[in-house]
Structure 1
Amino acid sequence: MGRYDRDSKRYSRSKGKQANGIPAWLTIILMLTGIAAGFFLRPVADGLVDPLKHLAELAITPKTVHPDIAATPPPLTPSPVPADANPELEPTSPPPAPIILPTLDSSDNQFRTQTLTAAPELAPWLVGDNLIRRFILLANDLSQSQRTNKHLDFLKLSQPFSVNSTGTLIAPASYQRYKPFVSAIDQLDADAVLRVYQTFKPLGQQVLAELGYPDDYTVDTLLSKAAAAILNAPIIEGDISVIKHSIYYHYTDPQLEAMNPVNKQMLRMGPENTRIIQTKVAALLAKLHGER
């Protein structure tokens, strides 16, 4: 380095040392070393920032924001879930507890209670005991197109069979005797009745075993045949002629008199009642086949 001489107005060069006693060449090396160290160590120095001070600086909202940049970033919008993605399974309620059936001989109360819950309109006819046995026995009669009076005792009628004034035709009042029972049948909820039936079907299967049926003959088969017998009964509109023999009446028409007992019973109920019963039996049968 040189020094400015006011007298000569020139720069004079020092020989070997500066005014502070440090050789000039050493000063140059130290300067270059310092510049290089600052260049290479700057990333390290920048990283050695006081973390608390750095966080405080980040928390300060900048005073100047470009108009095209929002001060608060927009909320994140979740990406749409693909249609074929499997959603997270939701917790399901535990399955209902299984119903413990009573024995066949002690089943009346439980069978009556559950049947009346599903079909309260049947209350007048769910009296007495051995309800499941009586139900299966009646279905067994129907499946064979038979009519056994003792199995129809539950169907108590307030009025006897009646004819018109000439004694030759079935009176309309005779059909009306069945109206309360037919109305109850018409109001049945097929789904509710079927649930009760499925619950107590094992006990019905025990009754079939008591009747001597083989193990592979099911209650479903029995009821399907009983339903077919009811559905095959003819519906006759108009007057039906009868004639009295002893204490009973017979149909005057030989073809009607030759019909099986189930068809004759349906005739005694009249065309309107027969149609209502057949409609409900068809609905129950469809539900039964659909549940298999």
Structure 2
Amino acid sequence: MTEKMDQEDSKVTKKRIYMFALVIMLIVIVIASIKLFSKLNTNESTAPVAVVIPKSEVIVPEVTESQIDDIVSPEVKEQPISVIEPVETKALPIAVVKTLPQLNDSDLSIQTELTQYFAKQTLKLFVKDDMVRRFVVYVDNIGKGKIAKKHSPLIEPQSSFSVIDGDILTIAPQSYDRYTPYVELFTSMTPQQAVSFYKEYKPLFDEAYEEIGYQERDFDEAILDAIDMILTTPIVTGNVPLLTESVVYKYAYSEWEQLPPAQKQLLRMGARNVKKVKSALKGIKKYLEVPE
């Protein structure tokens, strides 16, 4: 009986040893598989692993100049350094903005500016006070066919109007000549210069134009109206017959006498002077209508 029990215990012991060895073998196989799988993943992955090092733990070693020379190869040190020359650029022109005086204080500035275009003798033809306002009122009236003598920007001719009293009463040639200095003054500036001068002081002309009640209208329109009034004035050549009525002279032909006062005054300048004025005004109109 005892011998039989010993045999059974021996069988149980062998079975336990066998089971334990089997478990150990399985554990070894699992560990080996994990290591192999991890190694394959490491070889196949190309993405670098970011390792964050605290800033306080970063140590930058000091490198001396001699150590730098040892690091840099002689070939690199002997290569010439290319210098990029600075590119020369043209400076853009600076627009000079002129500071205009106040309208009430503009006479001296305008007189000084006019000396660039006219001789001293010619400048004496200008009325020196309230020059901008005079010009504005005078031009506005001309555009309406009127003459505003009290607001004329120019002084009146020194010589008086004269006639030839013959078989027919006509205008004397010397009456035309008294307007020649004014025509020469007017044509001394080129159309470009005249328009440039006007545009330089345009804010003052506009201000004076608003003063007489034109808040919604640009003074350019008044100038163009005045130019058109003069350009449509007929040119009369030869002797101009007149009629006398008391102390007043009238044109003998009704088509002339019925012209607006501004055009009748222009006829007194003579055909030669009228042609010069018209030619200058055509140029001024051309440059005045060019958009800025």
Q: TM-score under structure 2 normalisation?
A: 0.66
Matching of residues 16-31 of structure 1 within 5 Å: none
Amino acid at match of 2:249: Y
Cα deviation for residue 120 of structure 1 reads 4.1
C-alpha contact 1:115 1:193 (8 A) present in aligned 2: no
For residue 226 of structure 2, what is the aligned residue in structure 1? 226
Instruction: Give, in whole Å, the separation in 1 of the partners of 2:291 and 2:119.
Output: 23
C-alpha contact 1:139 1:223 (8 A) present in aligned 2: yes
SS of aligned partner of 2:164: coil
Cα distance, 1:190–1:119 mapped onto 2, change above 3 Å: farther
SS of aligned partner of 1:132: helix
Deviations 1:149-170 (A, max 9, x none): 2123723212111101427101
Amino acid at match of 2:107: D
2:105 pairs with 1:97: no
C-alpha contact 2:235 2:267 (8 A) present in aligned 1: yes
Deviations 1:225-261 (A, max 9, x none): 1110110100011111112222221111122111111
Amino acid at match of 2:98: I
For residue 169 of structure 2, what is the aligned residue in structure 1? 168
Cα deviation for residue 219 of structure 1 reads 1.2
Cα deviation for residue 266 of structure 1 reads 1.1
C-alpha contact 2:138 2:153 (8 A) present in aligned 1: no
Identity across the alignment (%): 26
Instruction: Give, in whole Å, the separation in 1 of the partners of 2:104 and 2:159.
Output: 33
For residue 244 of structure 1, what is the aligned residue in structure 2? 244
SS of aligned partner of 2:234: coil
Which stretch shifts more, 269-278 or 141-150?
141-150
Deviations 1:257-286 (A, max 9, x none): 111111101111111100000000111111
Cα deviation for residue 125 of structure 1 reads 2.4
How many aligned residue pairs are there?
A: 208
Instruction: Give, in whole Å, the separation in 2 of the partners of 1:285 and 1:89.
Output: 42
Q: What is the root-mean-square deviation of aligned Cα atoms in Å?
A: 2.3
Which ranges of structure 2 fall in alignment gaps of 5 or more residues?
A: 1-73, 79-86
For residue 199 of structure 1, what is the aligned residue in structure 2? 200
2:210 pairs with 1:209: yes
Between Structure 1 and Structure 2, the one with more helix by share is 2
C-alpha contact 1:250 1:257 (8 A) present in aligned 2: yes
Cα deviation for residue 214 of structure 1 reads 2.6
For residue 154 of structure 1, what is the aligned residue in structure 2? 154
Instruction: Give, in whole Å, the separation in 1 of the partners of 2:115 and 2:285.
Output: 20
For residue 289 of structure 1, what is the aligned residue in structure 2? 289
Cα deviation for residue 218 of structure 1 reads 0.5
Amino acid at match of 1:193: A
Which stretch shifts more, 181-190 or 194-203?
181-190
Cα deviation for residue 127 of structure 1 reads 3.3
Instruction: Give, in whole Å, the separation in 2 of the partners of 1:120 and 1:283.
Output: 22
Cα deviation for residue 118 of structure 1 reads 3.5
C-alpha contact 2:134 2:153 (8 A) present in aligned 1: no
SS of aligned partner of 2:189: coil
SS of aligned partner of 2:169: coil
Cα deviation for residue 93 of structure 1 reads 4.8
Matching of residues 81-160 of structure 1 within 5 Å: 90-120=89-119, 122-152=122-152, 154-160=154-160
C-alpha contact 1:182 1:273 (8 A) present in aligned 2: yes
Cα deviation for residue 115 of structure 1 reads 2.4
Cα distance, 1:163–1:264 mapped onto 2, change above 3 Å: same
